[in-house]
Chain A
Amino acid sequence: MVLKEEDLSCAIALRCRKCGREYPLEPLNLCDFCFSPLEVNYDYKSIAEVMSRERITEGPSNMWRYRELLPVDDNVVDIGTGFTPLVKADNLGRELGLDKLYIKNDCLNPTYSFKDRVVSVAITKAREFGFDTVACASTGNLAASVAAHAAKANMKSYVFVPFDVEPSKLTGIAIYNPVLMTVKGSYDDVNRLCSQIAQRYSWGFININLRPYYAEGSKTLGYEVAEQLGWLAPDCVVAPAASGLLFTRIWKSLDELSMLGLIQPVNTHMYITQAAGSSPIVNAFEAGILQVHPVKPNTIAKSIAIGNPADGYYALRVARQSGGGACAVTDEEVVEGMRLLAETEGIFAETAGGVVIAGLRKLVTSRMIRKNELTVAFITGAGLKTQEVIAEGVHPVVIQPTLESFEEVLGKRA
């Protein structure tokens, strides 16, 4: 394939991860032969001819600066996603015993989570494929992002979430005017229902028939981190895992950059963190097995409460092959993690972020991550989405509107 300057997508086919069969770039999710997931395959040789550090640097200050590595052809549906801050976390690092800790802060995306990355790609493809309606099953963050991007693209959207999703998330979804359905069941029940709806209705289902394309958006997290570190892969990555997709795509992104000669060969150790109440991948890692057994989720970290993760096996493999690890944290530790991050670095993360910070603490304590290792912790969503979990700990000091009242309290507190 000869890449012309105006050719922007080097995606050439969908390929089965298990058996290698190839399919055209259509709204397909599974291999027709073995029912395994499909993923986008690229012509990396052509990409290497045009992609350079300089070209990327000259690109837009958002996720689309890496467009050559994303499977889109037309004008993108973008609401200003990506190129979020990579913050050197000196205070948190000092607290945990790490000299080179960075936080990748995806709270600052337009709908306040990393889902904007995957949805921007998926909705762009949905429009390319001619869909006029998009839909998704979600624990909350994806629904908000789908609704927002659908609004931007003038598409109708249906979003399905479990009935017990945090109220603050529901508001953050409804504002974009999708058809918002709360389902009386767990996320796994929502997913089962959506699989039936997807068969009956010709909609662009973001995490069903558009999943191979949606998945690619997560790679931009890894690209950005490498670029922001000065074209360097970190020694350690600590990220949350729900379906495991994000985790595998961060790994893939670093591998792609290395293959293209943009960074040195990758020697990054990848660490999975999950909530103990929904930790099927961690369970498998700790048991020393490759099979991820489903669990029934029960945790306050609802955004990552997936009992039977679609990419669990692949995330497990990445953790093992990279010489990384996995750890699970209790709900109490999740809240402590949220507080610690906010009180040291001024970043208010949602529960998934609390999982990452609490997990990071455990990984350092157990010496799996060493003091001088350049470590990046991925914070995937903002705390306002799950503020209910810390509401109990809010105790403002009540004073009278007098100086005396204030100084009395000040004296007591001192």
Chain B
Amino acid sequence: MVKRGVKFTFPPTLIKEPIIYSLGQQFKVVTNIRRADVNGDKGWVVLELEGEGEDIERGIAWVTGKGVRVDPIVGDIVEG
């Protein structure tokens, strides 16, 4: 099992979509939200994903394909 911290940034059109719920359901990834700021304009969520490495990768690919920006929470990018 692998844990990965990521930040999802949602465009306005996806604010109301249950992306994180669907990610958990479809890809057997446990999602654990640590910080978030969601309003009508934009939203971001910092969360931990836990699961098999392949499932996490496929899940992130699906989330990205939906139009959500996904960044790792380490390094010189990502803060909120």
Contact = CB atoms under 8 A, between A and B. Distances in A.
B16 interface: no
A243 B4 CA distance: 21
Interface in A71-125: none
Contacts of B75: 137, 191, 194-195, 207-208, 211, 310
Contacts of B48: 35
Given A188-B77, A199-B4, A308-B9, 14 more contacts: A30-B5, A30-B74, A33-B34, A36-B35, A191-B76, A191-B77, A195-B73, A195-B75, A209-B74, A244-B79, A291-B44, A293-B42, A308-B71, A310-B76
Interface string B48-80: 100000000000000000000101111111111
Interface in B1-29: 2, 4-5, 7, 9
Contact of A309 (B4, B73, B79): B79
Interface residues of B, number: 23
A226 interface: no
A294 B9 contact: yes
Nearest to B9: A294
A54 to B, nearest CB: 37
A36 B75 CA distance: 12
Nearest to A142: B76
Contacts of A198: 74
Q: Is the interface of B mostly helix, strand, loop or mixed?
A: strand
Contact of B80 (A137, A191, A208, A291): A291
Nearest to B35: A34
B76 A306 contact: yes
Contacts of A68: none
A243 B35 contact: no
Contacts of B2: 199
24 contacts: A18-B35, A35-B73, A191-B76, A195-B72, A195-B75, A196-B72, A208-B74, A208-B75, A209-B74, A243-B76, A291-B37, A291-B44, A292-B79, A292-B80, A293-B9, A306-B77, A308-B71, A308-B78, A309-B77, A310-B79, A311-B79, A312-B79, A313-B80, A314-B79
A116 B35 CA distance: 33
Contacts, number: 84
A245 interface: yes
Interface in A294-351: 294, 306-314
A20 to B, nearest CB: 14
Contact of B71 (A37, A192, A211, A314): A192
A220 interface: no
A192 B35 contact: no
A69 to B, nearest CB: 22
A307 B77 contact: yes
Interface string A242-262: 111100000000000000000
B35 A35 contact: yes
A29 interface: yes
A308 B74 contact: no
9 A-B pairs closest in CB distance: A195-B72, A243-B76, A191-B75, A308-B77, A35-B34, A195-B74, A310-B79, A208-B74, A35-B46
Contacts of B5: 30, 35
Contacts of A309: 76-77, 79
A389 B37 CA distance: 39
Nearest to A296: B69
Contacts of A199: 2, 4
A134 to B, nearest CB: 15
Contacts of A311: 79
Nearest to B75: A191
